[in-house]
Amino acid sequence: MTTLSGMERKHIKPGLPVAIVLKKDQRSGTLTHGIVKDILTSAPKHTHGIKVRLESGEVGRVKVIEEN
């Protein structure tokens, strides 16, 4: 399993399994796992991670891309 950083938009696509940090979990760094539904950040890179919406409806910044 390859692990990529979530700071570059080009690595993130809908349907990809990722681990994100929700706004309420930013202090603790707790990761939430899910599948990308929408990419919300328009910039090609973001230092805190690309913001996405998961299929569950949760919104957060990608910390880990979990590719097979």
Question: Hey, what are 44's tokens?
Answer: 């090609």
Q: For 13-66, how does the pLDDT look when each residue is reduced to its tens digit (9 = 90+)?
A: 999 999 999 999 999 999 999 999 999 999 999 999 999 999 999 999 999 998
> In order of start, what are the domains of the chain with their CATH numbers?
2-67 (2.30.30)
**Alpha-helical regions (H) of 1-68:** none
Q: What integer pLDDT is reported at residue 3 of this predicted model?
A: 57
Q: What are the CA-CA distances from residue 13 to residues 3, 25, 30 (Å)?
A: 15, 23, 22
Q: What does pTM read for this prediction? A: 0.90
The total of other beta-carbon atoms located within 10 Å of residue 7's CB is 18
